[in-house]
Amino acid sequence: MHASRVALIALVAANLVPLIGVAVLDWRLYDVMLIYWLENGVIGAFTVLRMASATEERASALAFVPFFTVHYGLFWLVHGVFVVTLFGTDGPFGAATGAPSVGPLLPEAGGPSIALPIVGTVPVAEGAALAAVGLVLSHGTSFARNWLAAGERDGRSPSSLMRDPYGRVAVLHVTLLVAGFAVMALGAPIAALAFMVVLKIVLDAAAHLREHRRARA
């Protein structure tokens, strides 16, 4: 099976975890948005690995990797603050989106939570760890099969790779935020949340195919 197709299957499978969470485990909009934000961090981490293993201008990775880590890291953290502040209980949309019944920077009593830089400790859905593992495996599959085995790193330089995640992340998550506000307006019904997750899968798959067609070209 073609490497890109295997990676696409892994991508769709990882994205099905939030869909199951919404349909079966009663996940909230807050949970879904937080997990998608965590995926941004996974994308950034694998971008660093790509920059470090690119075949062109390899010495420049010593400068570009630290710069990207700080720049993208700040971008990621600000997005996290935005998600928690807006969709957490104390945010303007928290009460309408099924947010946790505690402050956004405090762990839910007896429930799972994660400690994040600057953002603080935030409650997460049951099963969030499974979703995070699925995202790491999905992007790891793409990295191993497409980037390393299929030779997509040939001819790529750290400077060109540094720009790659911003366009994908920006388009995807602006769309998701708009969808999130629409879900909020509808009172966060399961059908609307499920539609948002399916929309994310479609956008992710399209971005994946476009990225690897460009790499093969």
Mean pLDDT on 141-160: 84
Whether the pLDDT of residue 14 is over 80: the answer is no
Distance set, CA 187 to CA 62, 94, 180 (Å): 49, 11, 11
| Other Cβ atoms within 10 Å of 114 Cβ, number | 16
The H or E element containing residue 44 is helix 29-53
pLDDT digits (tens, 9 = 90+) for 89-109: 565 555 444 444 333 333 344
**Whole-number Å distance between alpha carbons of 43 and 113:** 21
What is the DSSP code string of 46-82? HHHHHHHH-SSSGGGHHHHHHHHHHHHHHHHHHHHHH
Range of the domain at 134: 3-216
Q: Which is more confident, 40 or 179?
A: 40
Q: pLDDT tier at 66 (50, 70, 90 boundaries)?
A: very high
DSSP label of 149: I
Phi, psi of 144 (to 5 degrees): -70, -45
Residue 202: CB partners within 8 Å, gap ≥ 6? none
Per the structure, the count of domains in the chain is 1
Buried b (16+ CB within 10 A) or exposed e, 70-79: eebeebbbeb
